[in-house]
């Protein structure tokens, strides 16, 4: 470690700061954790892995809390790392996720376009990230029309509205068997015919009301679905 950078600090203090930062994060004390990571990096700014960890944690906290101050800290931390490590793709991805969460992708796109135009060494990755950003913006603007699932109350109401004839048919079949039993006729031949007729009536009532309920349910469930758009399918290429 360079003595002018930390004249009164030894290796043990650096290790203690790093250990405390890891423990605080594991305990859910996020603010203390990133603070101790920052203190450690002040003593050893060349530690790339720890700098990446701190920046990733700041991004996670900013997205979770929707905090603009944390957004600025996270963005600044990633930008500082990318100045010397432009090929750090995880950093570019974290930055895109961060800007997407706060609805600022257009500003990030302008940054990448400027960098790609001014620095030929960064133009390749800058152009690639620009394409990804435009693709994310397109998906955000062109959300697929997916019908919302029915709520519990709406689903129950739809089932009852569709299959109430089947319920009546079941009640009718039960009443028919109770009030007009098949063995009520003294004649054996008449009893057999009456039983056949009774069974046929029950079967036809159940089948008819069941098929009607299925047709009715499909018709009502598709009633509010959006119509398919006409014309060519939109491309996903940026």
105, 99 Cβ separation under 8 angstroms: yes
Residue labelled with tokens 């699932």: 149
CA dihedral 96, 116, 237, 78 (to 10 degrees): -10
In this prediction, residue 152 carries a pLDDT of 44
Distance, in Å, from the CA atom of 27 to the CA atom of 36, rounded to the nearest integer, reads 14
Distance, in Å, from the CA atom of 78 to the CA atom of 95, rounded to the nearest integer, reads 7
In this prediction, residue 7 carries a pLDDT of 43
In this prediction, residue 150 carries a pLDDT of 44
In this prediction, residue 229 carries a pLDDT of 46
Neighbours of 192 (CB within 10 A): 12
Write the secondary structure of the chain as one string of H (helix), E (strand) and C (coil).
CCCCCCCCCCHHHHHHHHHHHHHHHHCCCHHHHHHHHHHHHHHCCCCHHHHHHHHHHHHHHHHHHCCHHHHHHHHHHHHHHHHHCCCCHHHHHHHHHHHHHCCCHHHHHHHHHHHHHHCHHHHHHHHHHHHHHHHHHHHHHCCCCCCCCCCHHHHHHHHHHHHHHHHHHHHHHHHHHHHCCHHHCCCHHHHHHHHHHHHHHHHHHHHHHHHHHHHHHHHHHCCCCCCCCCCCCCCCCC
Tens-of-pLDDT digits for all 238 residues of the chain?
444 445 445 558 999 999 999 999 999 999 999 999 999 999 999 999 999 999 999 999 999 999 999 999 999 999 999 999 999 999 999 999 999 999 999 999 999 999 989 999 999 999 999 999 999 888 876 655 555 554 544 556 767 677 777 777 777 666 666 666 555 555 566 666 767 776 777 787 777 777 777 877 777 777 655 554 444 443 333 3
In this prediction, residue 84 carries a pLDDT of 93
Distance, in Å, from the CA atom of 56 to the CA atom of 47, rounded to the nearest integer, reads 14
In this prediction, residue 179 carries a pLDDT of 60
**Radius of gyration, alpha carbons of the chain:** 35
Per the structure block, which two tokens stand in for 18? 């790093």
Residue labelled with tokens 């990571």: 37
128, 109 Cβ separation under 8 angstroms: no
């Amino acid at each position: 470690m360079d003595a002018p950078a930390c004249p009164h600090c030894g290796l043990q203090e650096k290790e203690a700061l790093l250990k405390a930062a890891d423990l605080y994060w594991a305990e859910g004390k996020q603010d203390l954790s990133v603070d101790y990571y920052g203190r450690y990096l002040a003593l050893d700014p060349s530690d790339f892995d720890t700098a990446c960890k701190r920046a990733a944690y700041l991004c996670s906290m900013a997205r979770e809390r929707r905090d603009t101050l944390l957004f600025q800290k996270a963005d600044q931390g990633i930008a500082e790392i990318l100045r010397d490590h432009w090929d750090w793709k995880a950093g570019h991805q974290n930055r895109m996720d961060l800007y997407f969460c706060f609805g600022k992708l257009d500003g990030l796109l302008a940054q990448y376009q400027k960098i790609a135009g001014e620095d030929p060494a960064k133009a390749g990755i800058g152009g690639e990230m620009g394409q990804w950003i435009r693709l994310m913006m397109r998906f955000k603007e062109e959300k697929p029309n997916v019908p919302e699932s029915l709520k519990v109350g709406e689903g129950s109401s739809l089932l009852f509205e569709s299959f109430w004839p089947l319920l009546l048919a079941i009640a009718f079949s039960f009443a028919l068997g109770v009030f007009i039993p098949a063995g009520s006729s003294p004649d054996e031949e008449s009893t057999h015919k009456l039983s056949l007729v009774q069974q046929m009536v029950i079967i036809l009532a159940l089948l008819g009301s069941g098929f009607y309920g299925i047709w009715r349910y499909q018709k009502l469930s598709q009633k509010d679905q959006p119509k398919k758009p006409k014309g060519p399918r939109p491309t996903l290429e940026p």
